């Protein structure tokens, strides 16, 4: 009995040691990524974007080093772009975002229009809105706010914001920026890129899920508890880069290895309640319905 108790005690200590070591490794990964002065230095090919009538360049920034003009720009563009999707929740959410934007751990990619680009008033007044930039120098046309954090014991790059001026959209710039952010995540040993999208922001949801192949994460309210999730105004999306991140962050039903198991379990339960001469057809129809729901 004593030997068994001693063995269990050793196992617990060993597991506790493994957990602490893993936690230390993750903390070092986050620290290493967060101390990089400029992540754009590793991806010089992404320093400029000159396509579809848009000519811009990128620069990095830190939340606790923002100039007053950039702070004002972030606030203005957020209000223009997000007041609609947030609806009545915007006044409270705006206060949250103002605190988030100046946090020491906040990292930025700013998108500036090249100085050799000249626009007439008609170009800038698309949708009846002028550019939100009011400072000096080349005008900003958008920004990304991201952080390196831990989710479900996985180091991840969390995209807090991807905001573009109306006239800078539908030109491939958003996809370009997300490709860059995924490269930054991979280079810095992140297991995934995660972001939050308002359900009311249908265009953004389609952009991430259809064009960039992000999926609703297992940590999103709708996956944790569908009843609670239905009352929430947002979804958490992810794209994973390794098996551990996939196991913890992607919905189980979306993994190819599990679809067959779930499918057969469902069919087995149907056998007990259905009497059908054409069970094969029923299987096909049900699986198609099942996949369409999860997609």
> pLDDT digits over 168-220, tens only?
999 999 999 999 999 999 999 999 999 999 999 999 999 999 999 999 999 99
Decide: 60 and 40 in contact? Cβ < 8 Å: yes
Helix, strand, coil % over all residues of the chain, rounded to 5? 55, 20, 25
Flag whether pLDDT at 251 surpasses 80.
Answer: yes
Best CA proximity match to 60, nearest among 37, 44, 82, 77: 37
Question: Which burial class, exposed, middle or buried, applies to 145 when counting CB atoms under 10 A from its CB (0-12, 13-18, 19+)?
Answer: buried
User: Is residue 280 very low, low, confident or very high in pLDDT (cuts 50, 70, 90)?
Assistant: very low
Is the pLDDT at 111 greater than 60? The verdict is yes
Q: Give the pLDDT band (50/70/90) at residue 11.
A: confident
Query: Measured over all CA atoms, what is the biggest interatomic distance in the chain, rounded to whole angstroms?
Result: 86
State what percent of residues in the chain have pLDDT above 90.
72
Question: Tell me, what's the pLDDT at 1?
Answer: 53
pLDDT one-digit tens code per residue, 35-44: 999 999 999 9
Residue 107, helix vs strand vs coil = strand
Q: What is the dihedral of CA 252, 256, 216, 247, to 10 degrees?
A: 50
pLDDT of residue 258: 52
> What is the pLDDT at residue 213?
97
**Confidence at residue 286, expressed as pLDDT on a 0 to 100 scale:** 38
State how far the Cα of 16 lies from the Cα of 51, in Å rounded to an integer: 53
Closest by CA position to 58, among listed 70, 41, 71: 41
**Domain at 37-189: CATH code:** 3.40.630.30
Q: Is the pLDDT of residue 21 over 90?
A: yes
- Give the pLDDT confidence score for residue 130 in this predicted structure: 63
pLDDT for position 8: 77
At 272 the pLDDT is 47
Arithmetic mean of pLDDT, 40-64: 97
What is the pLDDT at residue 59?
98
The pTM (predicted TM-score) of the whole model is 0.80
Rounded to whole angstroms, the Cα distance separating 182 from 97 reads 23
Contact yes or no for 131/81 (Cβ under 8 A): no
Taking the domains of the chain in order of start, what are their residue ranges?
A: 1-35, 37-189, 255-295
Asked if residues 197 and 232 have their Cβ atoms less than 8 Å apart, the reply is no
Range of lowest pLDDT (81-90, 168-177, 201-210, 264-273) = 264-273
Residue-level pLDDT at 273:
42
- Pair 75, 98: CB distance under 8 Å: yes
Q: Return contacts of 149-152, CB within 8 angstroms, 24+ apart.
A: 149/30, 149/105, 150/26, 150/30, 151/192, 151/194, 151/219, 151/249, 152/219, 152/248, 152/249
Give the DSSP H or E segment for 162. strand 154-164
């Amino acid at each position: 009995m004593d030997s068994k108790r001693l063995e269990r005690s050793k196992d617990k200590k060993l597991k506790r040691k493994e957990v602490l070591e893993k936690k230390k490794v993750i903390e070092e990964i986050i620290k290493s990524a967060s101390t990089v002065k400029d992540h754009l230095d590793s991806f010089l090919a992404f320093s400029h974007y000159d396509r579809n009538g848009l000519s811009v360049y990128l620069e990095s920034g830190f939340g606790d080093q923002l100039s007053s003009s950039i702070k004002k720009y972030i606030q203005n563009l957020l209000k223009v772009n997000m007041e609609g999707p947030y609806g009545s929740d915007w006044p409270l959410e705006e206060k949250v975002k103002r605190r988030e934007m100046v946090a020491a751990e906040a990292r930025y990619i700013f998108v500036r229009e090249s100085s050799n680009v000249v626009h007439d008033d008609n170009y800038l007044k698309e949708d009846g809105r002028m550019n939100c930039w009011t400072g000096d120098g080349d005008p900003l046309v958008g920004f990304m706010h991201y952080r390196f954090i831990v989710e479900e014991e996985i180091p991840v790059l969390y995209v807090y914001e991807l905001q573009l001026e109306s006239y800078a959209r539908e030109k491939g710039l958003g996809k370009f920026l997300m490709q860059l952010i995924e490269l930054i995540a991979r280079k810095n040993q992140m297991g995934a890129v995660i972001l939050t999208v308002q359900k009311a922001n249908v265009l953004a949801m389609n952009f991430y899920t259809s064009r960039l192949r992000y999926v609703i994460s297992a940590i999103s309210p709708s996956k944790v508890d569908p009843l609670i999730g239905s009352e929430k105004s947002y979804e958490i999306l992810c794209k994973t880069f390794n098996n551990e991140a996939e196991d913890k962050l992607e919905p189980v039903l979306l993994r190819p290895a599990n679809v067959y198991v779930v499918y057969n379990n469902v069919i087995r339960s149907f056998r007990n309640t259905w009497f059908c001469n054409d069970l094969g057809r029923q299987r096909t129809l049900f699986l198609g319905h099942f996949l369409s729901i999860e997609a």
